[in-house]
Structure 1
Amino acid sequence: STDAIALVEEIQKGEPLITASCKEHVIHLVRRLQEKLGEKEDHKFHLFKVLRAHILPLTNVAFNKSGSRFITGSYDRTCKIWDTASGEELRTLEGHGNVVYAIAFNNPYGDKIATGSFDKTCKLWSTETGKCYHTFRGHSAEIVCLSFNPQSTLVATGSMDTTAKLWDIEKGEEIVTLSGHSAEIIVLSFNTTGDRIITGSFDHTVAVWDVGTGR
């Protein structure tokens, strides 16, 4: 293995921040890193399973909180639910008229799944039965991202129409439209308390919204 002292002295030549006072600490860190790298044989990753999942390319994957189930979205217009341990396909969620692009479990609960599609709709499903509870209509272009709030009472969708929308899971109704971006919304996320949501757009900006008011 490379001598740690010689290595740090070499680094020191080009890095004036490594002073004599912290040199010993850096040497110690380098030695620990070398030990870790030497142990890497114990941490090999093994391919667990390869599943022939869809007839067309996949768009997205997501686990439930426990990791016992995962879902896959595809260009074949479906979302499939899988058992992680066995690799068995448990259910196919069919009903979208175009690519299923955005998918999510309502973690930590995991009893519902949301799918967002290029058909401009978002669907809410039962994980257990595969029943479609609601189809949320209102976007004028493809839905490319979505997220449940932490309480699992709302689902947010982001679209190529430059808006995001919040939907009531129980009623199946739109609550508010978040308008302000000048280009497509490609990512969104709730904070841990669920009272704020951030959206990221192709317009180079991030917006922070109040969930209660939509502003």
Structure 2
Amino acid sequence: MYKIAIIDDNYDQRETLRRSLDAYLEIKDSNFVVIDIFPYDTETFEEYFDWILNENIVCLIFDERMHNETEGGIGPVSYRGNQLVSIIRERYKDIPIYVITSNKTDEELTAKFSEFEDIIERQEFINEGEKYVDRIIRSTQRYLDENNNELKEFQELSKMVASGKNTGNQMNRLLALQTKLHLPLDINLGERKDWLDEYEERIKELEALKLELELKLKKN
């Protein structure tokens, strides 16, 4: 199940936004699920990377001022939404990231506008939620489509490498896709047998992921 995730230190705002998105997604007959979390109190930010990967998150929605509140004895955190987006973009270049905020004109936030899909005023979202949810669904679906196409390319290149018919450029492309898609495939160029054994182990996982993506795209 693919998820749209909200990160906000204000529980009431987070809960209200989650319920609102759930209602709109149900109207749109979308299969995306909405989850929400209090920001991680972290110095390395690795928790976010693991969370995105393990939870199948395909879209993120931030609050800008996520450094004010505490929850469950955690917080307030030391960073804001415009700082977190730069961290996540280091690893997830293309994942859709939105801000829904009451501080749309904040200078630090607007300076990072290019790193977000959009910066949305909270009241605008309340007034025109359906319009914004349509945009969120479209950008999230594009992201899934792109990943599906890249997964197919990865599989084709993997087969070429396994058969020894690849070029140097194709190997470089394979490694780039492995990094971008965060696929659990450890390629050791010096050990052909190890590579082939690893390929056989992992290709079934890739086929299952490809099927899951295709079924998701058909439903939408």
| Structure with greater strand share of residues | 1
Give TM-score scaled by structure 2 length. Answer: 0.24
Relative CO higher for 1 or 2, CA cutoff 8 Å, sep ≥ 6? 2
Pick the structure with greater CA Rg: 1
